[in-house]
Amino acid sequence: MYDFQTRINRRGTSCAKWDQDKKRTGREGLLPLWVADMDFHIAPEIQVALEKRLVHGVFGYTFRPESLDDALINWFSERHDWKISRDEIVEAPGIVPFIHMAIQKFSQPNDAIVIQEPVYYPFRLAIENNGRQVVNNPLKQDAEGKWHMDLPGLAKVLDDSSAKLLVFCSPHNPVGRVWQENELLALADLCRDKGVILISDEIHADLVHPGYRHTPWLTLPAERRPKSISLVSATKTFNLPGFTTAYAIIEDPELRDETRKMLKGLGMGGSESPLAYAATESAWRDGADWLDALLKHLRTNDELLRTKLAAGLPQVKVSDLEGTYLEWLDLRALGLEDRNIWNRVLDAGVWPSRGSQFGKTGECFLRVNIACPSSQLEEGLDRIITALQS
């Protein structure tokens, strides 16, 4: 029913992924495997909903319909066994903008804010952009290469820095971890004990692979959680990032009230876009079959990537893909400097994400987006292998 193999020409559409290679890298005509959007058409069910709204032809001031809240509540109940009440939903103008605003609200200039690198780099930028201090509690790898949170290290970091805010990524971008409940509980206990507010970015919640299960932060026992905000959106799951819709789910009434006052004080609501609302509601109401088909395609591409690299660059280690559609490639065994790796792959005409962008622990890593037709991924991998074999 769904086509994930046809290559779509996105050039010339003001596409950040395809039309900014010269501006961002100094090179033109690159095959992009970097930013986390998909090279697929949206689900036909969503397109039908958009076309229906377009036919109406009037796009005046719009408020979020109750039917969208119903779709959100039903989706997370059925997909994640997460019972969200209507009054816990706070509409936000995008996840990254919300993180910026929350940093302004819940911390003061020069305050320390904790992240766990390598991690989605806008976390660091949000902290720096607001004149706060980034405190990094790096993830650690075990002997098998699996990434873990360093909780003893985090306890020391929190004590030494007096940080009162932690920005968390679950599932984790870029290392692909889907955190287990016992890991989350240990983090919750620590943050509660230290009086830390935790912001959990769960935009990849639906992109979880067989054998793993996403545990929403707010499904942990309330008595063990610190003050918390969970951030969700349909945009990553259903390839709708051009519609900057997002929702903060806040169970704590006092924190929720403070957040609403913050948004009101900034004159900020949600998207207030009739098209964004139509797309999001349709995604959460009608998109399950498309998502299940997408996940099967991603597993095919995951196997393709591992087979190609094992044959062409056996020194490269690839983290297990528990969640997301972003592969985390460890190239340290090649013995090349980070800059050398980066220049080689660009010169070969392919554009992944540079690992060092996600923090110092990402040096000599690459992040590769596999949410594309298999032939496109294979072409990009062939270029990477050729560039790094010599």
CATH of the domain at 106: 3.40.640.10
Q: Outline where the chain has alpha helix (H).
A: 21-25, 44-56, 66-80, 95-106, 122-129, 151-161, 181-194, 253-265, 274-286, 288-312, 338-347, 374-389
What pLDDT, on the 0 to 100 scale, is given for residue 244?
Answer: 86
Answer for the pair 343, 366: CB distance below 8 angstroms, yes or no.
Answer: no
Six token digits for residue 251: 């169970």
11 CB-contact burial (10 Å; exposed 0-12 / middle 13-18 / buried 19+): exposed
What pLDDT, on the 0 to 100 scale, is given for residue 117?
Answer: 98
Domain termination residue (choose one: 232, 258, 286): 286
What pLDDT, on the 0 to 100 scale, is given for residue 84?
Answer: 98
What pLDDT, on the 0 to 100 scale, is given for residue 1?
Answer: 83
Residue 6 forms part of a structural domain: no
Q: Which residues of the chain have pLDDT under 70?
A: none
What pLDDT, on the 0 to 100 scale, is given for residue 62?
Answer: 94
| Same domain for 221 and 138 | yes
| Same domain for 336 and 272 | no
Domain termination residue (choose one: 286, 305, 333): 286
Domain that holds residue 216: 59-286
Tens of pLDDT, residues 133-172: 999 999 999 999 999 999 999 999 999 999 999 999 999 9
What pLDDT, on the 0 to 100 scale, is given for residue 390?
Answer: 73
Residue 294 forms part of a structural domain: yes
Q: Which residue has the tokens 């046809």?
A: 6
What pLDDT, on the 0 to 100 scale, is given for residue 118?
Answer: 98
Domain termination residue (choose one: 286, 306, 336): 286
Number of domains in the chain: 2
Alpha carbon of residue 371 to chain centroid: 13
Residue 15 forms part of a structural domain: no
| Same domain for 214 and 349 | no
Residue 36 forms part of a structural domain: yes
Strand, helix or coil at 75? helix
Domain containing 33 — which CATH number?
3.90.1150.10
